Structure 1
Amino acid sequence: RGDTCFSAYITERLTKDIENSVKYAAAAVSLKMETPGPFKGTREDVEAYIKEFYDI
């Protein structure tokens, strides 16, 4: 979880603000927790998760 969170956040911070970077990292980790092993989802998977669960 730590590697997924850190890498997702740092990658997003290259072009996004803190709030959106944290949201992306949280969504990536949430998706990662659904299956054992490394995260194998796509950016589209994470963005869909954000739209479904985080965007109000």
Structure 2
Amino acid sequence: MRLILLAGLLSGAGVVLPRIGVVFPDGLFAGLTFFVVAAAFIARIISQPETLGGDDARQ
């Protein structure tokens, strides 16, 4: 449940970052955007154990 919330927050941050992108230098903005999108993607994958075939897939 916590990873779903984290994924949601990171997805929201991915939407907000372009709006405040003028505050950051280009390289930092690109790095932050990549980190936020990648972290949200990973959180979504980890929060779905049945797609990975883990031990807790049937819970």
TM-score norm. by structure 1 comes to: 0.43
Identify which of structures 1 and 2 has the higher relative contact order when contacts are C-alpha pairs closer than 8 Å and 6+ apart: 2
Greater helix content: 2
Which has the greater radius of gyration?
A: 2
TM-score (norm 2): 0.41
